[in-house]
Structure formats: C-alpha cells, structure tokens
Amino acid sequence: MPTERRRVLITGASSGIGAALARELAGRGHDLALVARREERLQDLRAEISARHPGCSIVVTRLDVTDHDQVPIVFDHLAGEFGGLDRIVINAGAGGRGTRIGAGEVSENVRIMETNFVAAVVQAEAAMRIFTRQDSGHLVFMSSMSALRGVPGRMTVYAASKAAISSVAEGIRMGIGKGSDISVTTLFPGYIRTEITGPRADRLPFLIEADHGARLIADAIQKERATAAIPWWPWAPMRAVMPLLTTPIIRRLSAG
C-alpha cells in the first residue's frame, strides 16, 4: 500500500475541481496548503472547511502559477510551514475554450499553453526538488481525456496542452529510481461540472458533478497508480479505444 500522505498542496484551489478536492481531502483527515490567484476565495474556502473540520490544518497563499519565480518560493515556504509536503496536486489551469487555429487570434491559445503546460512544468520542478530533498512524495498531474486525441475547433490548443503535460508526467515517472518513495500520477478526468464548463455543461456527454468528481479523484490519488481515468466508466475503456475512434465521433464528444 502507498505511504500515507497527509500534507497536501493543491494549486488552483479557489474554485472548481481544486476547491472540491480540498473539501474532500479535508474530510479524509488531510492537512492542506491551498494556493490560487484569488486569495479572497481561498480565505472563504478555508473558513468553510475549518468550520466543518476543526482538526484540519489549512494554510492559504496567493499564487499566480504563471509567475515562474514565485512558484518555488511559495512551494518551499509551504513545505516549511508543514515541516514537509507529502503530496502536490498540479491542478491550476486555464479552461478549454481557446480560439480555432487560423482564426487570427493567438493570445488566448498562448495563455492556455502558458498556464496548462509551461506553468505546470515549473510547478513540477519545484515539487520534485522538495520531494528529492525529502526522499519521498507524490506528484499528481491533472490532465484530461482530451489529451488522448487531437480535438477540433476551440479545444485544439487545450487538448494539446494536456497531452504535453501528460508526456512530461510520464517522463518524470520513468526517471524515478526503483524502490523510491516518490511517485507520479496522471489523472484523466472526463467531463466534470465546474465554472469552466459553464452554460454548455448540460450538452456534454457523461457529465458528473464536482463533488462526485472530487471523491473519485481522491480515491484515485490515494491508490497512487501511474494513471487513472475519472470516472472509470466510460472513460477507462474509452482510453483504449480513443485512437480508433473516427473523426465524427471525436467531434461529437468534444461538442459544446
């Protein structure tokens, strides 16, 4: 069984999956370091969780993960606050509604790549330095089922950013020595209702609510497997058949 990982840092924790996961892990007895750009929301979340789980230690810190110089400073500070970090969840990310390649508007696509890929690499660097010093730790990447195939239209760059970070996660995992207490997990969520999905959510196939998704994510994290689809059905079988799906099917799955 994996080592108990009590002290957890979650990036992008002010809303959506990050906030739902913080609530879920607090209920399971974890201490939390929560970072995001919107500090006021983090303070509200800390007050909410503390009221429900008075025994949970929670530290919140404002962090824009695209500020590359600040990421290792904040991560190291939080590790110092808790006397180490057992698990770091790279969850902060930009939503999937970019612009179609060729539309002549590159700024949103660049923002998505910088947040979902470049910033995630910077976070992974800071996390692995902490884990290497400790000789233990669990690094979790929040990817997406869209990482498994190219996706048309406004989702093209989002899917590419998630595919890129999945590749980075696999590379880090492969480089860890045998017998190490450092592990890496890549999560592939399907459609989960959050602020990002917005009004189009009800048109998405196999949609689940954020609290349900957080429970499944927490279960997968605690198993510390290399990869996991969230939820298992239908997305785990879909991972196997995704390379075989026709273009019309891919278009339908990415509709909305």
Please report, for the domain that includes residue 74, its CATH number: 3.40.50.720
Which pLDDT tens digit goes with each residue over 142-196?
Answer: 999 989 988 888 889 999 999 999 999 999 999 999 999 999 999 999 999 987 6
* Residue 256 pLDDT greater than 50, yes or no: no
Would you say residue 117 lies in a domain?
yes
Specify the pLDDT at position 199: 56
The answer to whether residue 2 is domain-embedded is no
Distance CA 97, CA 226 (A): 28
Answer yes or no: is 1 within a domain.
no
pLDDT over 70 at 74, yes or no: yes
pLDDT at 200: 64
Q: Does some domain include residue 52? A: yes
Q: Point out the residues that are catalytic.
A: 158
Band (pLDDT 50/70/90 cuts) for residue 248 is: confident
Least confident piece of the model among 13-27, 197-211, 234-248: 197-211
The mean pLDDT value of the chain amounts to 92
Nearest 5°: the CA angle 75, 146, 232 is 85
Q: Is 70 exceeded by the pLDDT of residue 1? A: no
Domain presence at residue 211: yes
Q: What percent of the chain has pLDDT over 70?
A: 94
Domain for residue 60, yes or no? yes
For 47, the domain range is 7-253
- Would you say residue 54 has pLDDT above 70? yes
Rounded average pLDDT over 207-230: 96
Residue 232 lies in a domain: yes
- Note every long-range contact of 208-214, with CB atoms under 8 Å and residues 24 or more positions apart, other chains counting: 210/16, 210/17, 210/20, 211/20, 211/23, 211/24, 213/17, 213/20, 213/189, 214/17, 214/20, 214/21, 214/23, 214/24
| Number of domain units in the chain | 1
pTM of the model: 0.92
pLDDT at 3 over 60: no
Give me the pLDDT at residue 250, please: 77
Residue 178 lies in a domain: yes
Distance of CA 159 to the CA centre of its chain: 14
